Structure 1
Amino acid sequence: MATYDLRGKKTLITGAGSGIGRATAIAAAGVGAELFLTDINGTGLAETVDLVGRAGGTVSHSLPFDVSDFEAVTAFADDIHAEFGSLDVVMNVAGISAWGTVENLEHRHWKSMVDVNLMGPIHIIEKFLPPMIDAGRGGHLVNVSSAAGLIPLPWHAAYSASKYGLRGVSEVLKYDLKRHGIGVSLVVPGGVKTGLVQTLQIAGVDRDDPRVQKLQHRFEKRAVEPSVVADAILAGIAKRKYLVYSSNDIRFGYWVARKFAPPYEFVLQKANDQFSKLLVPRRVEGSSKSTSSVRAPGPE
């Protein structure tokens, strides 16, 4: 795929009310993207919209809601598509975090991680990618996972369940969407200086314990600013890169984890190409265009 330019592209960013999402919104506006923003925190989202506007950027639509609420995502998507048509770039940034050993984690921890970090992006993908495909202009999908979606970090079982899941979705879509000219980037930050550091839930741990505070301080020293991740995301989109790192320690750690793994990208792409031959044209409602879909099994 050729270099992708965000200038004038209709770009959705979730989690835009703070941290990586806000930094990415400001960076994308700086290169001329037309923004569509959301965050569960309405106050933070309004602040981001104001910051983008003062910097000369364009926010065409913004709305606070929870991405884990499928009905809210559906209403948001319907409103955007009715007024603005399909989008060009979709960035799933919104996320939450909780750590803990399995004997300390509660059901609510597991469920909230999957609901927000995995089902949230799936809801966005489900509602925004099919119209992007039908428009036939190509585009780009960004999913922000984590180092914990690459490497089995201690106490991260619930968090990694969501982030490894998002990585799996992203890797499949990397191949599935290629024939539509849609690139996919999986962002895998290490430590980032966001509000998650302060609000992080650690089940079974006293946050006031000096040892825990020391560990948190070490984490914060190694963490990068959200703007660093935002710049990496924009560079990844421009270069159509799949894996996007924000720090070399995670890049090295993942290289060590997979250095003996056999190359498989070629095989996966060939397999996907073969599966694509099973597709039959699908008529796009209200258009003379047709795209491809799988014929459902059953009687003719």
Structure 2
Amino acid sequence: MLFGRKKSEEYIEKLEITNNLVKAASESFEEVIAINEEHLEQLRQGYEKVEKIHEENKKDLEYLNASTSQMEEKSLDFEDFLRRTYKSALEVRDDFNVYSEGSKQKEKNAKNIIYASEKISKERVDIKSGLSEIDRCCDTMKELSSKTSVLSLQAAIEGSKLKESSEFVATATEIKNIAVQYSSIINDIKLKVDNIKRNLENIEERSGGIKNFANDSIKLESNEADEISRIKAGADANIDNIVKVSADYEKIDKEIKNLSKISTETANRGNDLLLGAQDIDSALQGLEQDCLNYKSKVEFLNTQP
């Protein structure tokens, strides 16, 4: 009888110990769940920020593509005016050789040169305005890239606090790398814009020389043979200038095409950024499932006798 009572007491004591262990395990699981849920919320907010940044990037990329397309259209008009200016200058030079017969035609061609020169100046203003807009767009995207890079670092820090975070940290690191490359592309665009600005300054200087030559030819009087010779020499010199302007145009056309290519690459980087954000979301869902598993374990332990 005493033996049976002793066994019962031992069983009750072991049962109490087991219950205490179960209770401690439950409290431990609940604490882990609370920590993980807090981190999950922080990481989910980080993902939403990345997605928002990507949407802003998409708007700027669309604007950049539209700007480069508009510049390509302007370059075609610009090329047409250069050709017309070159043709007019050649005609003016020929007219000087038969001045007595072609005085009126000379004046007409000189006026055409003035018109073409003024049009070149107008095109320069329009293109320079477009460049300024692209410049602003580049600054905006660079700022967004910087924010993305900082965000990925913060996300990596939060991810490192989790028990199983290697997948998330790798994803966050990849997003940071994309942001760095994205920033590099923006710097390339700004470099191209600066090159185009320098070419435009050369064009403005040379178009001014063309306009001065044309004004001189209009003032020419028929009885001033020495003035005819001087203007003819000026025509020859300005034809050379027009050739140089055409060379500058070719540089501009090349830079515009580079801008178009870079904007496409930037758009692809934007897509990569979105894919990285989707990977973050996938990692968060996995961590969320871990929390659900923890909860299931706790609930199971709580139901045990």
Structure ranking higher in helix proportion: 2
- What TM-score comes out, normalization by structure 1 length? 0.23
- What TM-score comes out, normalization by structure 2 length? 0.23
Q: Higher RCO, 1 or 2 (CA under 8 Å, sep at least 6)?
A: 2
